[in-house]
Chain A
């Protein structure tokens, strides 16, 4: 399966700042997604990153707070904007390589906001 690299692996940020998380895949993939895993909870989909167009956001997530880019078939970024302590979570990138294939996940970015 594709090798997925997320950067940074972890960070501690100040309230009110923004952080951009990168997701790099070693091969072209069909779909890319961003998930959030809040402490002690399961994974929740933030959005589907669409290549060359605006991301598709799930209910409860908005572009102003979580802007996403996907300039090509191997790379995507998620920005967490104007962070507050409630944004402390693990953010995960996942990919689907081709039709009828399962999603594979990156290592995640553990984000703590002070």
Chain B
């Protein structure tokens, strides 16, 4: 069965600190991987996606993620966070371009000025 694990449920950082949120998945076949973000009071938005090709993908707002197949990981990174990055971040996978998304539990990030 497919599953997604996010290791950090709550992360607190100061502005300008670097961010790395862990995401590991369980699935033996080809996967598509996503990071979504939910800002307070807003709807879920796509940060970045990996379908194939370059395993280092860049998304909006300076975020990037690296797909490491051997580690079944797709960690999210940002070199310098801002207060406006305060949000909940969800890692998700699908096993096809159309297919249902399996979400991780989410990570709540709080950035203090």
Residue interface bits A36-70, CB-to-B below 8 A is 1, else 0: 00000111110010000000001000000000000
Q: How large is the interface on B (under 10, 10 to 19, 20 to 34, 35 or more residues)?
A: 20 to 34
Flag the segment in B15-23, B41-49, B72-80 that touches A. B41-49
Which positions 73-106 of chain B face chain A at CB distance < 8 Å? 90, 94, 97-98, 100-106
Q: Which of A45, A48, A105 contacts B43 (CB 8 A)?
A: A105
Cβ-defined contact, A102 with B98, below 8 A: no
Q: Which residues of A contact B46 (CB under 8 A)?
A: 102-104
B51 interface hit (Cβ, 8 Å): yes
Q: Which of A31, A41, A100 contacts B105 (CB 8 A)?
A: A41
A92 interface hit (Cβ, 8 Å): yes
Cβ-defined contact, B97 with A99, below 8 A: yes
Q: Which of A41, A43, A106, A107 contacts B101 (CB 8 A)?
A: A43
Q: Which residues of A contact B44 (CB under 8 A)?
A: 43, 92, 105, 108
Assembly CA distance A35 to B90 (angstroms): 14
Q: In chain A, what residue has the closest Cβ to B101?
A: A103
Cβ-defined contact, A42 with B97, below 8 A: no
Closest 7 CB pairs of A and B: A100-B97, A105-B44, A107-B43, A42-B103, A43-B103, A45-B100, A102-B49
- Give the interface of A toward B (CB within 8 A): 30-31, 33, 35, 41-45, 48, 58, 92, 94, 96, 99-108
